[in-house]
Amino acid sequence: MKLLVTGAAGKVGQAFLPAFLSAQRFSGWDVVALCNNRTIDAGERVHVVRGSMSDESVIAEALEGVTHVVHLAAVKETPGQAIDVALKGLYLMLERFRVAPDARQFLLLSGDCVVGHIFQDYSAPITEAAPRRSYPGSYALTKVLEEVMLEQYAIQYGLSVTTLRAPWIMEKDDFRYALRLDDTQFGGPAWETLLNEVTLERVRHGGYYPLLKDANGGFLKRNFVHVDDLVEAILLSLDNPQAFGELFHIAMNEPVDYGALGPVLGRSERLEGLEIETPFHSNWLDNTKARKVLGWNPSVDLEELVERAWKYRRGEGDPRIVWYPG
């Protein structure tokens, strides 16, 4: 067996590769890592192919003899790259992979942007049967088109495909910085769109965490997943016939309830909640199918997410990285 991993130098790729290489089940597999301009600490089992996914010759080299693909490469709010990476690159891979004599499985990492995460309102937990309802922006659009393209290659050519939909992926101290109210904040929302200047200046120096309210006035519930749990789901899906032709939601068992942060952060970090009204909707990405079919169960709950994020300390060679803008 031979695995191609795209986006191998990204957040998920850097966590997935060592986990895959250390898994006994995959000990005899060869690995190809495709990346463009980042460094990969590959090791002797991994052959690195460098170049753009929009280059047909690069794709041909990367897919030589490959039986399985884990497609992690993505661009976020960078419209200038969206067509080349998300659409042309995926198309080139699928066109070559569908005629490969040993092709066995193509696994795509997608996101809950496809169903709108906190931008669309749902009256019940969001299952894999929910229609795609993305929010505005190039990233959500490309993920919708990627999922549809993969489905059509399964329908038209009988290709064995698997799609994993993940919400906001956390690693290291990400969650701590996602709750910062100053310029070091990781991700969104942009606080200046929700808070006036006086309030923002008062709280930006520490001591507070954002106690977000949803459009109905309740505490916001938003979906997250730790990268370690996502990696485990990928490993369980890989070369698993029960995953062929399937879509799975890979999220924490329950969304993070911002109202439940108070007891955790107040007790452990002595932070005070700052109530912030938002136009966002509380949603629940249902992971029942992944737990039942794959036997997957996330190990990181809210308390563990907080504990890991606040205990993590970065060394000089471990800077915070913004993997993509947006």
The ranges assigned to domains in the chain are 2-169+223-249, 172-222+254-282+299-311
Report phi then psi at 19, rounded to 5. -65, -40
Q: What is the pLDDT of residue 266?
A: 77
**Angle in degrees, 0-180, between the axes of helices 90-97 and 138-157, rounded to the nearest 10:** 10
- Distance separating alpha carbons of residues 135 and 189, to the nearest angstrom: 14
Q: What is the CATH number of domain 2-169+223-249?
A: 3.40.50.720
Q: Reduced to 3 states, what is the DSSP secondary structure of residue 83? A: helix
Per the listing, tokens 């942060």 go with: 261
Residue 94: count other Cβ atoms within 10 Å of its Cβ.
Answer: 23
Beta-ladder partners of 210: 274
Closest CA to 134 of 153, 115, 111: 115
164 and 111 Cβ atoms separated by less than 8 Å = no
HSE-CB for 106 with a 13 A CA cutoff: 26
pTM assigned to the model: 0.95
Q: Per-block average pLDDT, block size 10, for the chain (326 residues)?
A: 94 94 94 83 83 92 97 78 84 96 97 96 97 92 95 98 97 94 90 95 92 97 98 98 98 96 83 95 98 98 94 85 55
Closest CA to 70 of 25, 113, 104: 104
Residue 201: count other Cβ atoms within 10 Å of its Cβ.
Answer: 11
Type and span of the H or E element at 302: helix 302-311
